[in-house]
Amino acid sequence: MFRGVSPINLDAKGRMAVPARYRDKITELCCGELVATIDTEERCLLLYPLAEWEEIQEKIEALPSFNPAARRIQRLLIGHATDLNMDGNGRLLLPAPLREYAELSKEIVLLGQGNKFEIWSEERWLATREEYLAEASGGAELPEELQNLSL
Amino acid sequence: MFRGVSPINLDAKGRMAVPARYRDKITELCCGELVATIDTEERCLLLYPLAEWEEIQEKIEALPSFNPAARRIQRLLIGHATDLNMDGNGRLLLPAPLREYAELSKEIVLLGQGNKFEIWSEERWLATREEYLAEASGGAELPEELQNLSL
DNA sequence: TGTAGTAGTGGGTAAATGTGGGTAAATGTG
DNA sequence: CACATTTACCCACATTTACCCACTACTACA
């Protein structure tokens, strides 16, 4: 599915040009209909093909709604999930509330992540990547599945 | 169903313009007839399509009425439930008592939440969201369903 | 190295949307 | 029954958005 990193500039209207190498697949998967929402762990956005998102939303809605942690997740994820369509030039208009959440200004980064993309402010992504690298080289606390992973 | 976040301004008469992207679906589902009531956990309002609300009200009415907790829920939810109609411009007049409960002044936020909407004062929503994010990243006390959720 | 095609970027314009407010009907009150 | 207040309906304006077209920068290939 999706992979790779793409530095992108938002234009003055808050639009993001989807890298051409993804466009055909996105058109094929969901006719250019995508859903963006927030990531609850990091200040970045998640971008799903519509069909992919709908499966996830079903799972989230099925959570027990009297459970406070589940209500939080529902409010955060479904509450921010916004439908987006690619325009004729293969661009997406990122809604202002989502841009504000992820602190996106001009320079952003699009990360392919399998069934979805992540959208980061470039500055925040570079800083977070450094943190990850530092933690990873600590080498401690890896779950068993990871320790057995051969690259 | 409904999803996404919409910042909205109430006008001087306490009216809220329903975002255009929801209007068709609302008209189709319930001819623009909605029911607003209070949320008992958070200081926000809940907004249901009429048919959706009627199912819920039946369930609430079926609760054992000698049980004090059930009576409380009945008084709070059914007692505050108010029928609203979209006007010709796709706006809803939010009744003063409900506005006061949720402390809605000018800037409000509409959150799509599956079968319903939530209406928050923008200020309160932003503050609550930060709390949720902080708690979510604590990572503790997640129900099993949530721990296994892969996004 | 030139040329053609593709990708990324910028911005104009018409249509749709959000906003404000006037007025008449309806409602509640003295 | 008259009055004051609220609500519903309507029209008009400001703003935003979607769509389109044009320009520039690359890339690939001759």
Average of per-residue pLDDT across A141-146: 74
Question: Which of B3, B132, B146 faces A78 most closely, judged by CB atoms?
Answer: B3
Whether B97 has its CB under 8 Å from any CB of chain A: the answer is: no
Across the interface, whether the CB atoms of A80 and B4 are under 8 A apart is answered yes
- CA gap B151, B134 in Å, rounded: 19
User: Of A138, A30, A73, nearest to B145 (Cα)?
Assistant: A73
CB proximity B146 to A under 8 Å: yes
Q: Which of residues 54-93 of A touch strand C (CB under 7 A)?
A: 89-91
Would you say residue B64 lies in a domain? yes
Cα A61 from chain centroid (whole Å)? 20
Task: Give pLDDT, residue B115.
Answer: 92
The domain in which residue A105 lies consists of: 2-147
Q: What is the CATH number of the domain that holds B45?
A: 3.40.1550.20
Q: Is B31 on the interface with A (CB under 8 A)?
A: no
Query: What is the reported pTM?
Result: 0.91
For residue B36, being part of any structural domain is answered with yes
How many domains are contained in chain B?
1
Evaluate whether residue B43 is within a structural domain: yes
Q: What's the pLDDT tens digit per position in A28-78?
A: 888 889 999 999 999 999 999 999 999 999 999 988 877 888 899 999 999
* Digit-coded pLDDT (tens) for B91-132: 999 999 999 999 998 899 999 999 999 999 999 999 999 999
- Closest CB to B143: pick one of A67, A74, A81: A67
State the Cα–Cα distance between residues A8 and A17, nearest whole angstrom. 7
